[in-house]
Amino acid sequence: MKAPFYVAIAMAIGLIVLLGYFLHLDILVNLRIVLLEWAVILSAVALLVGTANLFYVHWRKFTTAQPNGFYSAVLIISFVITLVVVGWFGPTHAYSMWIFNNIQVPIEGSLMALLTVLLAFAGVRLFRRKPNLISILFIGTAILILFATGPLFGINLPGLSELRAWIAQVPAVAGARGILLGVALGTIATGLRVLMGADRPYGG
Amino acid sequence: MNQLELFGLIFVVVFFGLMLALAILSRTRPVRQFREIPAFTRLRHTIGLAVEAGNRLHLSIGRGKLTGPQSAVAFVGLTVLDRIARSTMVSDRPPVVTSGEGAITVLSQDSLRGAARAIGAQFDPLRGRLTGLTPFSYVAGALPVIYDEDVGANLFIGSFGSELALLNEAGERAGSLTLAGTDNLSGQAVLYATAEEPLIGEETYASGAYLGAGAMHIASLRTQDILRWVIISLILLGALLKLVGVL
């Protein structure tokens, strides 16, 4: 397929979906719904392709004896067992749920716990990397919010919870809105570039 | 169409018109310099170094769904991929891309294929990888790439939550540069503390313009700046009118 042809298709579909949000014409709204449903189906197919890619990456890592190939073997065995169990019994069967509740949830929970320790460590390292006023403010605020949320040894310093509420409701919300404003403008700009065919994250 | 939708449509049309006008104007007028963002200066340096020293670049595009609002930041990641792939594909160690969403994985392979075709290099589909589908499985799958594949720099540009800290920490331990940008608020707080070169707020969306992705990227960045000032002025005006009791 020639490049201008698929770019034209992508632009036309993008325009229909965008206009379908603003103009409530039956034909536009129906087309938008159908196109979005197609996108969801294609995403599901892409998920299968991605999963096959995950399997093949680890298969090659294991068979070509790359570093830590043992872990790839563990992944391949777990992958096959999960596929057989969930494929045979269904995703809500007791066996499938056992795999989810006793393997996946604890492992992800452990990583979450690790993240807590890591963030505390990262806070200390931030001082070393960027010893400036903003870093002091960043760490100071984090410590203050921590103490106000979960008081150490049950000691509740007077005014601390009010200060926490003020930080969370005034400067934090103001800063978050400023960042979100930039993100929203960036999102519109990116969307319009794709719509105009200036950005083509498809077709190589 | 209600009032809010009409306002939305007008805003999009004005945005589109301004982008187009500024792109046309940039052909005749010289483009002004952007403010310096240290992350992009280091990134350009690292790309040059990757080609010379044979270091591999690792780009992670996150878990943004293609059918959701996070797709925009994933597209930014794909633009960065296109830029770095074209520059580093000729090196001994072409870049490797990880993501946590099937469609983004397919698109990243497509970008790598396009860059390889453009310079006549060989394309390996396993350079674009899906590493996991939940936040932590995605991170767990991306960690071996950082530790085992002699990565010189890690670029995390996409939709990430607080799990991004684990990737940044791995990059730090492996002694490679970590540059990160996300659309997620808690992810941004985390990357400020953990990434060597954080991209905050709209800086992530400026990646294309700073990496020379074309006139339209520069025009869209200028448009964002103009409309940001318009919005700030409207907010201040609204606050002032509220203060004097008109609103």
Q: Which residues of B touch A112 (CB under 8 A)?
A: 136
A31 is written with which tokens? 């087309």
What span, in angstroms and rounded, lies between the C-alpha atoms of B170 and B188? Answer: 17
DSSP assignment of B86-108 equals: HHHTTSSS--EEEESSHHHHHHH
| Low-confidence spans in chain B with pLDDT less than 70 | 31
User: Quick check: A189 and B220 CB within 8 A?
Assistant: yes
Interface of A with B in 139-168 (CB under 8 A): none
Interface of A with B in 113-142 (CB under 8 A): 114-115, 118-119, 122-123, 126, 129, 138
Instruction: Supply the pTM of this predicted model.
Output: 0.90
Q: CA of B118 to nearest chain A CA: how many angstroms apart?
A: 9
Torsion-angle region of residue B91: left (phi > 0), alpha (psi -120 to 50) or beta?
beta
State whether residue A64 sits within 8 Å of chain B by CB. no
Q: What is the pLDDT of residue A190?
A: 93
Residue with tokens 């448009």: B223
A43 is written with which tokens? 């995403």
B214 phi and psi, to 5 degrees? 135, 170
State whether residue A57 sits within 8 Å of chain B by CB. yes
Closest CA to A188 of B100, B228, B152, B31: B228
Instruction: Tell me which H or E stretch contains B178.
Output: strand B177-181
Interface ipTM: 0.90
Residue with tokens 């990888």: B129
User: Quick check: A199 and B216 CB within 8 A?
Assistant: yes
Which residues contact residue B20 at a Cβ distance below 8 angstroms, ignoring those fewer than 6 apart?
Answer: A196, B219
| Low-confidence spans in chain A with pLDDT less than 70 | 1-3, 203-204
Third-level CATH fold of B36-213: Rossmann fold (3.40.50)
Let me know: does B164 contact B192? Beta carbons within 8 Å. no
Residue type, B119: I
Q: Which residues of A touch B20 (CB under 8 A)?
A: 196
Coil, strand, or helix at residue B239?
helix
Which residues contact residue B23 at a Cβ distance below 8 angstroms, ignoring those fewer than 6 apart?
Answer: B215, B216, B218, B219
Q: What is the pLDDT of residue A3?
A: 64
User: Quick check: A186 and B204 CB within 8 A?
Assistant: yes
DSSP assignment of A187-199 equals: HHHHHHHHHHTSS
Q: Long-range contacts made by residues B214-218, C-beta under 8 angstroms, separation at least 24? A: B214/A198, B215/B23, B215/B26, B215/B27, B216/A193, B216/A196, B216/A198, B216/A199, B216/B19, B216/B23, B217/A193, B217/A198, B217/A199, B217/B79, B218/B22, B218/B23, B218/B26, B218/B31
Q: CA of B50 to nearest chain A CA: how many angstroms apart?
A: 22
Measured between CB atoms, which of A24, A115, A176 is closest to B165? A115
Let me know: does B172 contact B162? Beta carbons within 8 Å. no
